[in-house]
Structure 1
Amino acid sequence: MAKDSRHHAHTVCRAVAKSRKKVRSAATSDLWRMSDEDVATTLLEATKLRAQAEALELRLAAEADRRHVGERGGATDTASWWGHQTRQNRPVAKSRMRLAESLDRHSPTAAALVKGAISVDHARVITGCVDRLPDDLEDPTIPARAEQHLLAEAVHRDPKALATLAKHVLTVVAPEIGEARDARTLEREEREARANAWFTMCPDGQGSYRGKFSIPELHGAMLHKMLLAFAAPKHQAATRDEEAPQVERRPSPERMGDAFCELLERMPADKLPQLGGLNATVVVTMDLGSLLGGLASGVLDGGGVISAATARRLACEAGLVPAVLGSKSELLDLGRRSRLFSGA
Structure 2
Amino acid sequence: MDPSEPTLPAHPVLDCAAQIDAALSEVAVVDPVFMTTAQKRRALLALHGLESRVAALRLRVVAASADVAADEGHRDVAAWLAHRTHSDRAGARRHQRLATALDQRWHALGHALTTGAVNLDQAHAIARTLDDLPTDPRHGVTAQVRADAEAHLITLAATWGPAELARLGAKVLEVVAPEVAEDAERRRLLAEERRARRGTTLSVRDLGDGTALIKARVPVATAQRLTTYLEAFTNPRQPANQAARGRQDDASASALGEPVPYQVRLGKAFCSLLEVLDPRRLPLHGGDATTVVISIDLEDLMSGLGTAALESGDRITAGEARRLACTAKLIPAVLGTGSHPLDLGLSARLFSPTQRRALAIRDKRCRADGCSIPAAWCEAHHLVPWSLDGPTDLANGILLCSHHHQRIHDDRYLHSRMPDGDVRFSRRR
Q: What band does the TM-score fall into relative to the shorter chain?
A: 0.7 to 0.9
Residue in structure 2 matching 1:177, options 180, 192, 211: 180
Report the alpha carbon displacement of residue 327 of structure 1 after superposing the two structures with TM: 4.2
1:275 lines up with 2:284 in the alignment? yes
| Residue aligning to 1:97 | 96
In the TM superposition, 1:249-260 aligns within 5 A as 251-260=261-270
1:72 lines up with 2:87 in the alignment? no
Letter in 2 for 1:220: A
Cα pair distance change 1:238/1:34, threshold 3 Å: farther
Percentage identity across paired residues of the two chains: 34
Residue in structure 2 matching 1:228, options 227, 231, 239: 231
Q: In 2, Cα distance between the equivalents of 1:291 and 1:200?
A: 33
Deviations 1:193-240 (A, max 9, x none): 345433222322222222322222211111122333444595327751
Per mean C-alpha deviation after superposition, the further-off stretch among 35-44 and 114-123 is 35-44
In the TM superposition, 1:1-344 aligns within 5 A as 2=4, 10-23=11-24, 29-33=30-34, 42-65=43-66, 68-75=67-74, 77-105=76-104, 106-131=106-131, 132-136=133-137, 139-194=142-197, 196-231=199-234, 234-236=245-247, 239-241=250-252, 244=255, 251-265=261-275, 267-269=276-278, 272-276=281-285, 279-318=289-328, 323=333, 325=335, 327-338=337-348
Cα pair distance change 1:152/1:248, threshold 3 Å: farther
Cα pair distance change 1:21/1:237, threshold 3 Å: farther
Report the alpha carbon displacement of residue 59 of structure 1 after superposing the two structures with TM: 1.6
Deviations 1:87-144 (A, max 9, x none): 2455543442232122124232112222444333332332344345324266542111
Cα pair distance change 1:241/1:155, threshold 3 Å: same
Cα pair distance change 1:337/1:98, threshold 3 Å: closer
Letter in 1 for 2:61: L
Is the partner of 2:323 in helix, strand or coil? helix
Which residues of structure 1 form unaligned runs of 5+? 340-344
Cα pair distance change 1:10/1:205, threshold 3 Å: same
Which residues of structure 2 form unaligned runs of 5+? 236-243, 350-429
Cα pair distance change 1:111/1:182, threshold 3 Å: same
Q: In 2, Cα distance between the equivalents of 1:27 and 1:308?
A: 69
Q: In 2, Cα distance between the equivalents of 1:24 and 1:298?
A: 72
Q: In 2, Cα distance between the equivalents of 1:50 and 1:71?
A: 28
Per mean C-alpha deviation after superposition, the further-off stretch among 78-87 and 139-148 is 78-87
Deviations 1:34-57 (A, max 9, x none): 566766665555443432221121
For the 8 Å contact 1:269–1:280, the answer to whether it is kept is: no
Cα pair distance change 1:201/1:175, threshold 3 Å: same
Per mean C-alpha deviation after superposition, the further-off stretch among 203-212 and 144-153 is 203-212
Letter in 1 for 2:81: W
Cα pair distance change 1:240/1:91, threshold 3 Å: closer
For the 8 Å contact 1:269–1:281, the answer to whether it is kept is: no
Q: How many residues align?
A: 334
Q: In 2, Cα distance between the equivalents of 1:180 and 1:136?
A: 13
| Residue aligning to 2:412 | none
Is the partner of 1:206 in helix, strand or coil? coil
Report the alpha carbon displacement of residue 157 of structure 1 after superposing the two structures with TM: 4.0
Per mean C-alpha deviation after superposition, the further-off stretch among 31-40 and 307-316 is 31-40
Is the partner of 2:229 in helix, strand or coil? helix
| Residue aligning to 1:342 | none
Is the partner of 2:339 in helix, strand or coil? coil
TM-score (norm 1): 0.77
Deviations 1:258-311 (A, max 9, x none): 33233333x342664142575533333223443454543221122212234433
Q: In 2, Cα distance between the equivalents of 1:144 and 1:325?
A: 75
Is the partner of 1:211 in helix, strand or coil? strand
| Residue aligning to 2:416 | none
For the 8 Å contact 2:280–2:290, the answer to whether it is kept is: no
Q: Kindly name which structure, 1 or 2, has the bigger radius of gyration based on alpha carbons.
A: 2
Is the partner of 1:207 in helix, strand or coil? coil
| Residue aligning to 2:241 | none
Deviations 1:128-173 (A, max 9, x none): 4434532426654211101012223334444344334434433331
For the 8 Å contact 1:51–1:114, the answer to whether it is kept is: yes
Q: In 1, Cα distance between the equivalents of 2:331 and 2:68?
A: 76
For the 8 Å contact 2:297–2:339, the answer to whether it is kept is: no
The alignment's C-alpha RMSD in Å is: 3.8
For the 8 Å contact 2:332–2:344, the answer to whether it is kept is: yes
Q: In 1, Cα distance between the equivalents of 2:185 and 2:125?
A: 18
Q: In 2, Cα distance between the equivalents of 1:185 and 1:338?
A: 49
Letter in 2 for 1:101: T
Q: In 1, Cα distance between the equivalents of 2:114 and 2:229?
A: 46
Greater strand fraction, Structure 1 or Structure 2 = 2
TM-score (norm 2): 0.64
Cα pair distance change 1:179/1:327, threshold 3 Å: same
